[in-house]
Amino acid sequence: MKKKNKALTVLLIIMGGLLIMALGGLAAYLMWEKPPELPAQPEEVELIIEATPEPTATPEPEPTPEPMPEGTAFENSRKDGVYTMLLVGLDQMSGSTDTIMVGRFDTVKHEVNLVSIPRDTITNIDSDIRKINSIYAGSLNWGGNGIDSLMTQIDWLTGFVPDCYAVLNLNTFIEIIDELGGVDFDVPEEMEYMYQDILGDEGYIYLAPGMQHLDGVHAMALCRYRVGYITGDYGRLETQHAFLKACADQFISLGNIPHARAVAEILGENLQTNLSTANIAWFMRQLMQCKSEDIHLYTMPSEGRVLQGYSYAVPHLWDWLDMVNSCLNPFETPIEMWNMNLVYCDGDSYSGTQGYLDGAWYFEEAVDEES
């Protein structure tokens, strides 16, 4: 009995030591990670509207206030614990940003909304090609850093500048999926195509339809594939959404992200971002506190139009405005159309929310061609 009691005591000491080590590691991790600092918001500026006339013996109804002029500040108190972000997938071969998502992460309610911006979305710039996925590469070609110009376009499109941004290249995406141990996913249809990597080497991809375990290369191929979809890029966005949802479901059900610190470090070292590795780790832990049903993915409402020989996605203004306010707006005050600078369809013609179209000739010729 004495030997058994001694063995039990030793076992309890070992288990206690392991528990202390585990708690110490958790405490160190929690001390290391930290939320990003939100950018300082400008002081609230009072909107000056023409004074109401003095009342007379026969009072008249108050005039309807004019819309805010361009550049007018609006009441911008933040919702507690809400962060906005721009997530970009970069094609290193072409330099284009073929995956663009704007997100809102409510770390109080633990709810995530992600909205995909179609790669062909039209921008209000005077250029031969006005697709949003060419903005990043165009900036680099003119000596910029790419992300500043793209953030400006997202500001014009949504009415606010995202708090955080992250540009992910294909090689890092592959490395992350492999570090996570792969993802189980139901491939919607047969996918077969040749691809070229950043070194110019060609590869062959084949994915059979049905449930399978995807490593990094095949997950990348799944998310890039679009040639076989009847709906083109919209079909690709649907598959990307399903894949991201599968990733979230898989890791939320596990209750952890495998090798979370290693994943955060890979992202911190390879992303073009304004987040630190500790910020990324904090977001990862916040994500693990979400429920699967609280992660929502959407696509910007738009319609396909051909202008000057190029295919564009032109936003449906009012549906898009509703989506921005319900899914993305981090402020207490609704975003209005005059806070944006985008092109939209107005019947058979085109309009801009700021009252002008940059390089109007582009649209006038297009209308003439359609008529």
| pLDDT values of the chain reduced to their tens digit, one per residue, 371 residues | 555 555 555 444 555 444 444 334 444 444 446 677 776 544 433 333 233 334 434 444 444 434 444 444 444 689 999 999 999 998 867 778 989 999 999 999 999 999 999 999 999 999 999 999 999 999 999 999 999 999 999 999 999 999 999 999 888 999 999 988 899 999 998 888 776 654 456 677 889 999 999 999 899 889 888 777 667 778 889 999 999 999 888 888 777 677 777 888 888 888 999 999 899 989 988 988 999 899 999 999 999 999 999 999 999 999 999 999 999 999 999 999 999 999 999 888 899 999 999 999 898 765 544 54
Q: What contacts 51, CB < 8 A, 6 or more positions away? A: none
CA dist 195 and 192 (Å) reads 10
Q: Which long-range contacts (CB under 8 A, 24 or more apart) does 254-261 make?
A: 255/288, 256/288, 257/180, 257/284, 257/287, 257/288, 258/179, 258/180, 258/181, 259/179, 259/180, 260/284, 260/285, 261/29
pLDDT score, position 195: 66
pTM above 0.75, yes or no: yes
- Could you tell me whether strands 343-346 and 349-352 are parallel, antiparallel, or unpaired per DSSP bridges? antiparallel
Count CB-CB contacts under 10 A for residue 103. Answer: 19
To the nearest 10°, the Cα dihedral for 289, 19, 260, 268?
110
Q: Which residue has the tokens 């958790």?
A: 26
Cα 163–chain centre separation:
11
First-residue to last-residue Cα distance in the chain: 98
Which of 173, 188, 171, 202 minimizes the C-alpha distance to 237? Answer: 188
Contact 72, 66 (CB under 8 A): no
